[in-house]
Amino acid sequence: MLLCSAGVAPSQTPATPPETPPATTTPQSPPAATTPQTPPAETPAPQTQQPAQPETPSTGEPPAISVPQVTVEAPKPRPARRAPPATPARTAAPRPPAPPAQPTPTPPTTPTTTTAGQPAATSLQAPPSLNIITTNQIQGSTAQSFGNLFFTMPGATSAGLAPGASRPVLRGLDDFRVRVQENGIGSMDVSDLGQDHGVPLDPLSVQKIEILRGPEALRYGSQAVGGVVEATNNRIPFAAPPGGWQTQFLGATTTVDRGAEGGALFDAGSRDFAFHADVYGRRGNDYFIPSYPYLFPSDPAPPFNGKQPNSSFHSEGQAVGGSYLFAGGYVGAAVSRFSTLYHVPTMDGAASNSRIAIDQVKYTSKGEFRPESSAIDVVRFWAGAVEYHHDEIGIGEDGIDGIQATFKNHAQEARSEIQFLPLATPLGSFISTVGAQFDHQQIDTSGDAGSLLGDARTNRSSAYFINQLWFTENFRSLLAGRIETVRLDGTSGIFPAALVPPPDNPALSLQSLGFLPKSISFKLLQDLPSWMVASALLQRIERAPTALELFAHGSHDAPGTFEIGNSNLKIETGNTAELGLQRIQGDFRFDAKAYYTYYNNFIFRQATGILCGATFATCGNGVDTGRLLPTAAMSRACRRCGSAAAPTGAPTTGSCAWASCTPSGRATSASTTRPPPATTCSRCESRTPNIGGTRLGARPSSRPGSSARTCSTSTCAIPCNSTRTKFFSPGAASNFS
């Protein structure tokens, strides 16, 4: 409540006659009332109180007493973020919207569409995305891990090998092609290295999730060819909560696993500072299932007690953060910790009591500043660093229950950008944003993980721009571009052509590889009647190979695979065309997309049909503990060939299984032969010029009685990557968009 009193100020007023003027003064005298903060245009803003000039009395009338103007300004609370005062050179940027009436204010998550700095800023906002999971949806979900929140989202799902380990899958793409981030900073974990690795984000710590694609996604990296999953919370507050403080308590129980979860969030603030803290935890036992869990049990079959064996989990986390609020912006920092222990509920995992313990400490900072400038609207920055530790625990070959593999990840990320004020052009209002980003990742491994991937380092520097052009209030375009320099250092294995011993221990070679991916994305948006928006998108996204794809050379314990990388891989390119129509308001809302993506040099894991143990010396001797999965390049022509390259059955040293598919995508029969000459399975050759390029081990074939051209691939081939790829490798069509 604001109380205001007014009266005649005795200071800075000329001497007046002893008579007090009546309540109603002559029209020449201004009323003694508070003056609005913004004076009328014809009245200049008062700078200092000037004494009133005496008026010349008219003949026959008593002189009028001039009462000086008095302005009473009541004290007001200092806003969290104040816009700079208006100047002739620019329009004052409007204040950010007040925090919503919920336990913790949620900061804006798509600054790309911010158009502060012009009077019609509210009309220059991009339509709200329907690819959003709100706070109420998150709190009402039974998801035990971050990835499981996407099971009910159209165009998305989740993949993982354990209740505590799952990642989002967007349009059939996952792992390295989907970026997961928190408040603009990447999760910086190793969840993209294997389906048994968890994301160190808990649903209890997240307030909103949004999926970004197209030009908006290029702000964060070209690795996110499938999309960016942005999780937001108030760990770095940008405003003080209403009333000075607020708190929230969360709690739930589950019957399927006799589990429980709970959390508490606290926010406080004043005119200059804002503070946040949260703590949460959850636990669950082996969950109940209606039938026997294994399709192909061992002999004798494991006993069944109505529960999924080895499916329990436990996780907890804490965070604290704060911000300094000043005129025109804020700057803040936070530190958080995430810890979890979850079991891997596979048949082998239950037999060896496989479980994974993750501990991550994350430091983040971000800020925003709106300078008093005639050109710059806002300057933003994000920064973060993590210390990540991950142990894979279970019963080893020696019969001892202990740590079998360890992953350590030391990563840093920083990004800064400048958004300029709208510029009037003959085509419309033009808003430009330019920025730069730097990333560093160092993965250290030991135990069985050391044989999978040795110590590897990735350094990435990039620059990007995002331009908005508003032709009219209803028609606008977005254009974004990004260029990166990527350098990867690691150790790759040198394996024999047949991918089986000898030698028992392949030689290791230090590698230092560089890539220069370039990406561009263009989008048009048109507002239609009835709150509908039509969109069209064209983009070309290039992705550099990752350390695992280049340098893998050993067994991976939890998924039971033996993986071989390929240091000859080239940049993967995805070309996408998309049409969309969405209704963003009203009782009935929808978001429909039709898209087509064409990939060049698609990188994937290809099964060879050779079985391996924990070491390369066991490959091809019939030890059924894992399947050799080299990383290869996928090409395109036979794009629907699903699973024609089936394993040959009992492993035969050096055996090859061919599968062919027609250009229409229909799979044909697969055949098994003895190993062809070494020249066939040892190098990339062009054996099908009529198709336009080939990969190692591929040769043309045709169906009996048909002249249609087909293509064949060999599962024993050494991975290679051709710049002209015209056929699709079997078993990977599910990743095609």
Task: Compute how many other C-beta atoms are within 10 angstroms of the C-beta atom of residue 689.
Answer: 9
**What integer pLDDT is reported at residue 71 of this predicted model?**
52
Residue pointed to by tokens 């936070």: 334
Residue pointed to by tokens 């998309």: 578
Bigger pLDDT: 640 vs 296: 296
Q: Assess whether pLDDT exceeds 90 at residue 668.
A: no
AA identity, residue 621: N
Most confident option among 20-29, 197-206, 459-468, 615-624: 459-468
**What integer pLDDT is reported at residue 498 of this predicted model?**
83
Q: What fold, for 245-600?
A: Maltoporin; Chain A (2.40.170)
Per-residue pLDDT averaged across 105-129, rounded? 41
Task: Compute how many other C-beta atoms are within 10 angstroms of the C-beta atom of residue 125.
Answer: 11
Per-residue confidence band for 69, with pLDDT thresholds at 50, 70 and 90: low
**What integer pLDDT is reported at residue 559 of this predicted model?**
65
Q: Assess whether pLDDT exceeds 50 at residue 25.
A: no
The predicted-structure confidence for 292-347, as pLDDT tens digits, reads as follows: 998 888 888 888 999 999 999 999 999 999 999 999 999 999 999 999 999 999 88
Q: Assess whether pLDDT exceeds 80 at residue 724.
A: no
Per-residue confidence band for 534, with pLDDT thresholds at 50, 70 and 90: very high
What lies within 8 Å, CB to CB, of 47 at 6+ separation is none
Least confident of 10-14, 200-204, 566-570, 688-692: 688-692
Task: Delimit the domains of the chain by residue range.
Answer: 245-600
**What integer pLDDT is reported at residue 65 of this predicted model?**
52
Asked if 515 and 571 touch (Cβ cutoff 8 Å), the reply is: yes
Give the C-alpha separation, 108 to 574, whole Å. 29
Share above pLDDT 70 across residues of the chain, in percent, rounded to a whole number: 66
Asked if 345 and 309 touch (Cβ cutoff 8 Å), the reply is: yes
Per-residue pLDDT averaged across 401-425, rounded? 95
Least confident of 27-31, 151-155, 197-201: 27-31
Token pair, residue 372, equals 């008093």
Asked if 390 and 190 touch (Cβ cutoff 8 Å), the reply is: yes
**What integer pLDDT is reported at residue 482 of this predicted model?**
97
**What integer pLDDT is reported at residue 419 of this predicted model?**
97
Per-residue confidence band for 196, with pLDDT thresholds at 50, 70 and 90: confident
pLDDT averaged over every residue in the chain: 74
**What integer pLDDT is reported at residue 130 of this predicted model?**
66
Task: Cite the beta strand spans of 347-400 per DSSP E.
Answer: 355-369, 376-395
Most confident option among 38-42, 45-49, 504-508, 601-605: 601-605
Task: Cite the beta strand spans of 552-589 per DSSP E.
Answer: 553-556, 561-564, 572-583
Per-residue confidence band for 558, with pLDDT thresholds at 50, 70 and 90: low
Q: Assess whether pLDDT exceeds 50 at residue 696.
A: no
Residue pointed to by tokens 């350590």: 408
Asked if 711 and 637 touch (Cβ cutoff 8 Å), the reply is: yes
Per-residue pLDDT averaged across 27-46, rounded? 41
Give the C-alpha separation, 16 to 487, whole Å. 83
The predicted-structure confidence for 465-481, as pLDDT tens digits, reads as follows: 999 999 999 999 999 99
Asked if 569 and 547 touch (Cβ cutoff 8 Å), the reply is: no
Which uninterrupted H or E stretch holds 450?
helix 448-452
Least confident of 26-30, 219-223, 245-249: 26-30
Task: Compute how many other C-beta atoms are within 10 angstroms of the C-beta atom of residue 271.
Answer: 12
Per-residue pLDDT averaged across 403-420, rounded? 95
Least confident of 32-46, 301-315, 336-350, 536-550: 32-46
Check residue 161 and report its DSSP letter: E
Per-residue pLDDT averaged across 374-400, rounded? 93
Give the C-alpha separation, 463 to 484, whole Å. 7
Q: How far is CA 395 from the centre of its chain?
A: 35
Bigger pLDDT: 178 vs 162: 178
**What integer pLDDT is reported at residue 151 of this predicted model?**
87
